[in-house]
Amino acid sequence: MKKLLFAVATSIATPMALAGPTETLGLDEPFDRYTWLTAHNAFTSNGLIRNQRTTIAEQLEAGVRAFMLDLHPFEGRVALCHAKCTYGPGTERFATLLEATILPYLDTHPEAVITLQLEDFSTLAQLKAELRRVPRLGSVTFDPTTWDTERWPTYRELISRGQRLLIFSLNEANSGAIFTAHGTVHIMPTVRYTVENYWSLGMTMLTHDRSCRSRWDADVQPLDRTSIPGKPGWRPLFTMNHFHGLPVAHHAGHDNAFEELRRRYLDYCLPAAKRKPNYVAVDFHDEGDAQAFVDWLNRLPDAR
């Protein structure tokens, strides 16, 4: 922690030319040492209320590597919807996203690792039926039970094993080993494997609550929790949420400004979590300096 604070104090306010996390850190750090740009409600670019203006395919090309997705049962399938599914071209099925966007990107970018953070309102039966539509999914998902290590696998080890898609779910009933006819898909329970701060800066852009408190019961899931049950030496991955309840594109430039993000981290989230975030979740990722902030974080030493 002292090493990290010293590096922060002596670092310049604005990073140099942007580089991806693996360009900065290489491939041989444990996965919990990296920070990734994360799109909140990544699927909403063509919805009535948008949190992003670009599609997930475009977000991938822009360097986003983690995606927050809401899943709801809809017309016999599991669809990407926020709060309520509606009829129309904007309601994409989860299997379609995986088959048409996520897996092809992994195929064409052999060193890419992608994270999905699910808020899943489907039943286990509904989710299984949807995942059966993606035969190759089990072969690429990360399964922590297959790793007998005292730390997270390194980025290179994930690539070498082919486990390049990390999936977390807030629906614990829909986590663990999901058996399908085409193989086993592993989904990690979010509350066990991650920590995150309360998600809202305030409902509207008139409020900026920069406090960094746990989204969950702080006595049970504090932000500075250092271990994962059953995985000695593995730290929970830390998601730093930084967005408003009501998304407004023209205000995102303020929320995602480098100094605004840096201030939130240094003054609030670093003291609370005592470490760098692994995921920085924002609305309208292409507004402001979120990518630059993530790059700056990756240049800092680890807190350990």
For 70-97, how does the pLDDT look when each residue is reduced to its tens digit (9 = 90+)?
Answer: 999 999 999 999 878 876 666 899 999 9
Query: In the chain, what's the furthest Cα-to-Cα distance?
Result: 55
pLDDT at residue 303, rounded to an integer: 75
Q: Identify any residues that bridge with 8 across adjacent strands, giving them in sequence order.
A: none
C-beta of residue 189 within 8 angstroms of C-beta of residue 208: no
User: Is 53 part of a structural domain of the chain?
Assistant: yes
What pLDDT, in 10s, does the model give residues 95-137?
Answer: 999 999 999 999 999 999 999 999 999 999 999 999 999 999 9
User: Is 16 part of a structural domain of the chain?
Assistant: no
The whole domain housing 179 covers 2-11+21-299
User: Is 57 part of a structural domain of the chain?
Assistant: yes
- CATH number reported for the structural domain that contains residue 62 in this entry: 3.20.20.190
pLDDT class of 145 with cuts at 50, 70, 90: very high
pTM flag (> 0.75): yes
Report how far residue 121's alpha carbon sits from residue 253's, in angstroms, rounded to the nearest whole number.
Answer: 31
User: Is 141 part of a structural domain of the chain?
Assistant: yes
pLDDT class of 1 with cuts at 50, 70, 90: low
Q: Structural domain tally of the chain? A: 1
User: Is 256 part of a structural domain of the chain?
Assistant: yes
User: Is 174 part of a structural domain of the chain?
Assistant: yes
User: Is 262 part of a structural domain of the chain?
Assistant: yes
pLDDT at residue 219, rounded to an integer: 81
pLDDT at residue 276, rounded to an integer: 98
User: Is 304 part of a structural domain of the chain?
Assistant: no
C-beta of residue 220 within 8 angstroms of C-beta of residue 207: no
Q: Over 90: is that where the pLDDT of 199 sits?
A: no
pLDDT at residue 217, rounded to an integer: 85
